[in-house]
């Protein structure tokens, strides 16, 4: 049996740890509430941009547009992957799941260029010697629209210059408050069928590239270019907010489990401490009685 001093030291250590895990749980709860409000606020804007692009495609089509150039015939396409990991650990399996999914994709195409936001993923892939864009260094804490816009501009510049032919976004999607899963979506080139399916909810009869004339100022190409930038910005911002929401939710669950485990361990240690203390008292009494008997 451990000594009383050792047990008291362990109890003090676990109590300190419990205070930290409980505090982290409360902080993550506050951040989660804020992130959910951000996520709800972005949906109307994102949906409006999506529907506007669908409306334009109805009247102008997407032939000869670089954003919708699927390039099926091109061999050896230069692919890229935008990964949203966490900036910190202590979030259960949140980071492990996103890293595992990314490595599965990299096995299919090891030459994929990685744009990694979040310190955990960035450090992981750099140590593994993958093709990480070292000048792409963005945090995922407290996502903002300007940050999403900057990331979107970097991706668009690389795509339009021919540095990459295709880029996908990998992040964690919140399904329910207790369930989340990694999600992979293609950012560029855009798939017209994606807008096709979405636009059907608002328009039952339409055809892409119809001959109905609309006036676009200054031109249809410029208008679509602006909307695509807004679309990408909305996609990336929504993913940043949702990933941040998932990270906080995962951290709450992890810290709650850690706090519960600490409480259970404290109960066991308190019982062990009482037993050791009782044994020490009994031994002292026995020694006193034995000493008294020897003097008689």
Domains and CATH numbers, the chain: 21-254 (3.40.1380.10)
Strands (E), the chain: 79-84, 113-117, 166-176, 179-188
Q: How far is CA 108 from CA 101, 131, 184, 226, 242, in A?
A: 12, 14, 14, 33, 27
Q: Is the pTM of this model over 0.85?
A: no
pLDDT for the residue numbered 230: 83
Band of residue 182 on the pLDDT scale cut at 50, 70, 90: very high
Give the Å distances, CA to CA, from 109 to 77, 79, 163, 198, 227.
10, 8, 16, 30, 31
Residue 202's pLDDT band (cuts 50, 70, 90): very low
For the segment 193-199, the average pLDDT, to the nearest whole number, is: 58
Mean pLDDT of 10-28: 83
The tens digit of pLDDT for each residue in 254-274 reads 888 888 888 888 888 888 888
- Residues 230, 149 contacting (CB under 8 angstroms): no
> Residue 81 and residue 83: Cα distance in Å, rounded?
6
Per-chain mean pLDDT for the chain? 80
The residue among 44 and 75 whose pLDDT is bigger is 44
Which of 88 and 106 is assigned the larger pLDDT?
Answer: 106
Q: How many Cα atoms occupy the beta-carbon half-sphere of 206 within 13 Å?
A: 21
Most confident of 19-28, 141-150, 245-254: 141-150
DSSP state letter for 204: S
Q: Is the pLDDT of residue 38 over 80?
A: no
Please determine, for residue 111, whether its predicted confidence score (pLDDT) is greater than 60: yes
pLDDT band, very low/low/confident/very high, at 216 (cuts 50, 70, 90): low
């Amino acid at each position: 049996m451990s000594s009383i001093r050792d047990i008291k030291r362990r109890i003090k250590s676990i109590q300190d740890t419990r205070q930290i895990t409980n505090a982290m749980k409360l902080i993550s709860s506050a951040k989660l509430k804020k992130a959910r409000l951000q996520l709800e606020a972005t949906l109307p804007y994102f949906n409006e941009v999506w529907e506007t692009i669908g409306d334009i495609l109805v009247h102008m089509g997407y032939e000869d547009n670089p954003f919708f150039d699927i390039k099926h015939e091109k061999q050896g396409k230069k692919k890229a992957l935008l990964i949203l990991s966490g900036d910190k650990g202590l979030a259960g399996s949140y980071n492990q799941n996103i890293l595992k999914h990314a490595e599965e994709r990299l096995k299919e195409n090891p030459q994929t260029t990685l744009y990694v936001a979040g310190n955990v993923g960035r450090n992981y892939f750099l140590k593994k010697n993958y093709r990480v864009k070292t000048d792409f260094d963005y945090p995922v804490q407290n996502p903002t629209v300007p940050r999403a816009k900057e990331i979107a501009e970097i991706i668009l510049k690389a795509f339009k210059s021919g540095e990459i032919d295709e880029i996908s976004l990998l992040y964690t999607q919140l399904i329910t408050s207790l369930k989340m899963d990694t999600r992979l979506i293609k950012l560029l080139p855009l798939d017209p069928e994606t807008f096709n399916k979405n636009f059907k909810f608002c328009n039952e009869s339409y055809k892409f590239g119809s001959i109905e004339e609309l006036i676009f100022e200054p031109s249809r190409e410029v208008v679509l270019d602006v909307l695509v930038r807004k679309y990408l910005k909305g996609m990336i911002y929504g993913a940043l907010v949702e990933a941040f929401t998932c990270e906080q939710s995962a951290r709450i669950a992890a810290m709650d489990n850690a706090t519960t485990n600490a409480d259970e361990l404290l109960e066991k240690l308190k019982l062990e401490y009482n037993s050791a203390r009782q044994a020490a008292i009994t031994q002292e009494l026995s020694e006193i009685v034995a000493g008294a008997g020897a003097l008689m």
